[in-house]
Amino acid sequence: MAANVLILYYSRHGAVAALADKIAIGVQQAQATAIVRCIAPLQGEPGGRHPQVSLQDLTDCDGLAFGSPVRFGNMAAEAKAFWDSTSSLWLRGDLIDKPAGVFTSSGSLHGGNEATLLSMSLPLLHHGMLLTGIPYSEPELHQTSSGGTPYGPSHVSGHFADNKLSVEEQRLAIAFGKRLAKLSTQLKLQRE
């Protein structure tokens, strides 16, 4: 059976959501199922183009891509609050040995996207997940002058948050989705 890859994100203005869409394309290209879910805002109406995540979505997934905007060099409070609600999964070990990776969007080129990706990895490591990024065999990692890092896909949305995803950012997000899907499928087959 095809692996289920959960693409879980928080996005206030749509940049992280745009990366999530590209990662989903990569997952589907690797013949896995992309399940895209968003984290609700802490205040205001639940937003986002995708259904709101439940803890069951995490329990059921075979792999995870986790996205958040950069907020003062770290993940958004909404994303952190979500992970702080996952103790029951941690106690059961629901996420142990599942592959995972992280993605982000910042306003400026050196505004902390790599630091954010690394700190976003921490709760996933505590849950026992197997972290994966993007290898330098992807040519766009050498060519990008916007986002895209070995720690995971990223986008630089610009001072007015109106930059579209660059070609390199798109290709790296798709390559990451494919890689995560292949790993999720292989590990799922081993478990069965």
Kindly state whether residue 160 participates in binding ligand FMN, applying the rule CB under 6 A: no
By CB under 6 A, name the one of 4, 11, 121, 154 that touches ligand FMN: 11
Helices (H), the chain: 15-29, 55-60, 77-83, 87-92, 113-126, 140-143, 167-191
Torsion angle of the four alpha carbons 140, 135, 35, 191, in this order, in degrees rounded to the nearest 10: 160
Sign of the dihedral defined by the CA atoms of residues 30, 179, 8, 187, in that order: positive
The smaller minimum CB distance to ligand FMN, of residues 26 and 69, is found at: 69
The smaller minimum CB distance to ligand FMN, of residues 68 and 121, is found at: 68
> Please, are residues 7 and 39 in contact by the beta-carbon 8 Å criterion?
no
CA distance 53 to 59: 11
Residue appearing with tokens 């609050």: 81
Helix (H, G, I), strand (E, B) or coil at 127: coil
**What's the angle, vertex CA 81, arms to CA 41 and CA 157, rounded to 5?**
55
The smaller minimum CB distance to ligand FMN, of residues 165 and 183, is found at: 165
Buried b (16+ CB within 10 A) or exposed e, 18-54: bbbbbbbebbbebebbbbbbbbbeeeeeeebebeebe
Q: How far is the CB of 90 from ligand FMN (least distance, A)?
A: 26
Kindly state whether residue 165 participates in binding ligand FMN, applying the rule CB under 6 A: no
**Number of residues in contact with ligand FMN, rule: CB under 6 A?**
19
By CB under 6 A, name the one of 69, 133, 147, 152 that touches ligand FMN: 69
The smaller minimum CB distance to ligand FMN, of residues 18 and 183, is found at: 18
Q: How far is the CB of 103 from ligand FMN (least distance, A)?
A: 10
Closest-CB residue for ligand FMN? Answer: 111
Kindly state whether residue 14 participates in binding ligand FMN, applying the rule CB under 6 A: yes
The smaller minimum CB distance to ligand FMN, of residues 111 and 128, is found at: 111
Kindly state whether residue 128 participates in binding ligand FMN, applying the rule CB under 6 A: no
Piece of 90-98, 103-111, 128-136, 182-190 that binds ligand FMN (CB under 6 A):
103-111
CA distance 4 to 52: 17
- Note the residues at the interface with ligand FMN (CB under 6 A): 11-16, 69-73, 105-108, 111-112, 157, 161
